[in-house]
Amino acid sequence: MRLTRHPSNPVLMPNVFNDWEALNVFNPSVVFHQGLFHMHYRAQGSDYVSRIGYAVSEDGIVWNRLQRPVLSPSADFEARGVEDPRVTELDGRFYMAYTAYGRAGAHPEVGQTATGITPMYAVSDNLITWQRLGPVVVGEDNKDHALFPAKVGGRYVSFHRRPPSIWLAFSDDMRSWDGHVEVMGPRPELWDGKRIGAGGPPILTDEGWLILYHGYDDKHVYCLGTALLDLDDPSRVLKRPSTAILEPQETWEIKGDVPNVVFGTANPVVDGQVYLYYGGADRVIGLATAPLDELLAWTIAEG
Ligand code: BMA
């Protein structure tokens, strides 16, 4: 199964009128809320520091953006950027997973970071103003976290990534996380042979949690695939097809700031369609769609 690229792609491009988003816009989050698509996207300008911008759309294709970022580095632990937002709506609030990128060392807000990378959560009631909650883990190379859109066993559940695999963690308060467990790792002979990480928040279906995740192989080509996880125990992989659903193909997926990257970070379901939003070569934002029932049936049949 292949997703269908939208003919209007890329749906968001760098904006040379604002320096903070003049160079690259990529790896967005999109939630569908009260009849509108709400996007948060990673943006870089001439200083190469990542900030998070916001845009809104009626159809998911044509976007109106705010002129200023909604999240910018606030402290030393994220001085080099706030990256790769993934927003989940849960119990009437919005939770944003983002990667804080600062300098390695000790930071009063989060603790000791060995790599300068901290997988953070923030919360908002209006999608514009965000309050930082804290990290999923500290002191390790860890990112690609995303919150499940429903609690499991009464607890918050988050993906995260301990290289080279996708992991889960659990929390009662979105501040302290425990129960870290590996979900799945790379498959050496396949497109996801080297390293994998979660995409957008998982999709709740009757058959299980459908996930769209990224992976790459020895050639460093980022592709996207699906898997199905058990509803009650999402550390159990039920299905995992061997083929990818999206591979770099368009010029803007092959050439950009980082070549050969389709990096899916949002997969809202609207009117039965999965809207997969993804970064193309770390420079622009693309959209590809698939009917949810077909993507699920294919994942079950091939997995
Ligand atoms: C990953 C992330 C993404 C990026 C990708 C490809 O490690 O940092 O932000 O899109 O690499 O460069």
Digit-coded pLDDT (tens) for 228-259: 999 999 999 999 999 999 999 999 999 999 99
Q: How confident is the model at residue 111 (pLDDT cuts 50, 70, 90)?
A: confident
279 pocket-lining for ligand 1 (C-beta < 6 Å):
yes
Name, in order, each residue with C-beta under 8 angstroms of 158's C-beta and a sequence gap of 6 or more: 97, 121, 136, 145, 146, 147, 148, 168, 169, 170, 171, 177
Query: How many CB atoms within 10 Å of residue 242?
Result: 12
256 CA distance to ligand 1 middle (Å): 12
Contact 23, 32 (CB under 8 A): no
Whether cis (ω within 30° of 0) applies to the bond prior to 10 is yes
Q: How confident is the model at residue 1 (pLDDT cuts 50, 70, 90)?
A: confident
Query: What is d(CA 39, CA 8) in angstroms, rounded to the nearest whole number?
Result: 17
Name, in order, each residue with C-beta under 8 angstroms of 116's C-beta and a sequence gap of 6 or more: 77, 80, 101, 102, 103, 104, 105
pLDDT digits (tens, 9 = 90+) for 152-165: 999 999 999 999 99
Instruction: Summarize the confidence of residues 100-113 as an average pLDDT.
Output: 87
Query: Does residue 125 have a pLDDT over 90?
Result: yes
124 CA distance to ligand 1 middle (Å): 25
Furthest C-alpha separation in the chain? 49
For ligand 1, atom 12: residue with the closest CA: 258
For ligand 1, atom 4: residue with the closest CA: 282
pLDDT at 186: 98
Query: Does residue 195 have a pLDDT over 90?
Result: yes
Q: How confident is the model at residue 292 (pLDDT cuts 50, 70, 90)?
A: very high
For ligand 1, atom 9: residue with the closest CA: 84
Contact 81, 50 (CB under 8 A): yes
pLDDT at 20: 98
Structure tokens at 4: 């269908």
143-147 vs 131-135, strand pairing mode:
unpaired
Contact 299, 242 (CB under 8 A): no
Domains present along the chain, CATH in parentheses: 9-302 (2.115.10.20)
Query: Does residue 109 have a pLDDT over 90?
Result: no
Query: What is d(CA 37, CA 153) in angstroms, rounded to the nearest whole number?
Result: 29
Give the mutation target among 260, 261, 265, 285 for probing the ligand 1 site: most ligand atoms within 8 A of CB: 261
Query: Does residue 23 have a pLDDT over 90?
Result: yes
Contact 168, 235 (CB under 8 A): yes
Residue 91 dihedral angles phi and psi, to the nearest 5° = 50, 40
pLDDT at 105: 86
